[in-house]
Amino acid sequence: MDWLEGETLEQRLARGKLAPAGAAHLAACVLEALAAGVPIIATRCSAAMDALLDHGALGRLVPCGDMQAFAGAIADAGALTQQAAASLAQARRFTLEEAAPAYLATFATVALRNGASEKIRPSQLRRLVRRIVTPSDPSRRA
């Protein structure tokens, strides 16, 4: 975030946020806006935007590359409202605490498909996760 110069974070977030459509950090920007409960205008630059914004229920989605639609949405931004509770609930779905069990369940499903026994002990799952996320070449480890 930019330097706040005389305003609080809440005041800055209340004004909104613009990020380029192709930005790699766009999903993080949308999650920050959801958590802050501010109105959101985003381009439908990926299926992730539809999912993050509950197919337009939590923010205004405009077609990617449609500058007229984007400009129109910005011009109408004053009329936008945000469902603060629903926005915060959506943002919380993407915290580590919420997402980790889903990832582990996916890893377990993949392990079962690859011949693991039906009862996977936590230690087995931890080893599987380490094998997946840790490069086998020691020179590539951070």
Q: pLDDT per residue over 67-100, tens digit each?
A: 899 889 888 888 888 888 999 999 998 887 788 8
The CA distances from residue 20 to 29, 41, 113, 125, in Å, are: 10, 11, 40, 39
pLDDT of residue 118: 64
pLDDT of residue 70: 87
Q: Which domain holds residue 110?
A: 96-140
Structural domain includes residue 3: no
DSSP 1: -
Structural domain includes residue 2: no
Number of structural domains found in the chain: 2
Joined tokens for residue 41: 């205008």
d(CA 45, CA 15) in angstroms, rounded, equals 23
d(CA 99, CA 93) in angstroms, rounded, equals 7
Q: Taking all residues of the chain, what is their mean pLDDT, rounded to a whole number? A: 76
16-21 own/partner pairs: CB under 8 Å, 24+ apart: 16/41, 16/77, 21/45, 21/64, 21/65
pLDDT of residue 141: 45
50 and 117 part of one domain: no
When pLDDT is cut at 50, 70 and 90, the band that residue 8 belongs to is: low
88 and 100 part of one domain: no
d(CA 138, CA 15) in angstroms, rounded, equals 47
* Amino acid letter, 97: E
d(CA 142, CA 135) in angstroms, rounded, equals 9
Determine how many CB atoms are found less than 10 A away from the CB of residue 50: 14
22 and 69 part of one domain: yes
